Structure 1
């Protein structure tokens, strides 16, 4: 499983700050775990300022919502940012995560951490289904 973690560069543009394969640690026969991402504070840190329009998810800082998102074949969302830290898993299909640094193709099983940065989605030819856990963040300082 590939894990992409987003952030912003020195110019405040959304980008991938790390892209690594998730390593699983064998804890017992037939049982392994891996941690693609963890927070160190509650609520999570404030999201960065965004240039694209804000989609207010209505989730107070520290609260969580779990959603399933379906994107139809070849559909696209406009560039936007949210007031949440989003932990997303591609369940089926494929999708391009579009950031200021370009498009990043995600396939079934890939993971992405969206830290409230400017982004858009462009589904592949078969569409895409995502599992998304959204955690509310404070506004930028």
Structure 2
């Protein structure tokens, strides 16, 4: 049993080190001039929309010069769902790793959000399934 666990541990560590790469420094550099230019364009759009009593959809439909080259989306649900996750960890992983405690934490921290609680419950069920399969497999292997 110890040999099997040792071999599995060494295999997991080897794969982890083999898959790891160094981060590229250009991925973490900020171009402040480019960011300022994009925000200037957004500020112009906001000012125009507020002054002329035009909606953003109408402005996009007119193919105005203000919105050319800019992809504006009113759908921000993906961004909000990542921000609302407790500690930035998806609800599934809370349930999968911490089981019932994770399910309870997600229920409390997400203000009783049914979708997140369901994901945490699925994580709990996956955790239980893996434990049962490992238990049955190890008993069959060693008995």
Report which of the two has the higher share of strand: 1
Fold-level similarity (TM above 0.5)? no
Superposition TM-score, scaled by structure 1 size: 0.18
Superposition TM-score, scaled by structure 2 size: 0.17
Structure with the larger RCO, 1 or 2 (CA within 8 Å, 6+ apart): 1
Report which of the two has the higher share of helix: 2
Larger radius of gyration: 2
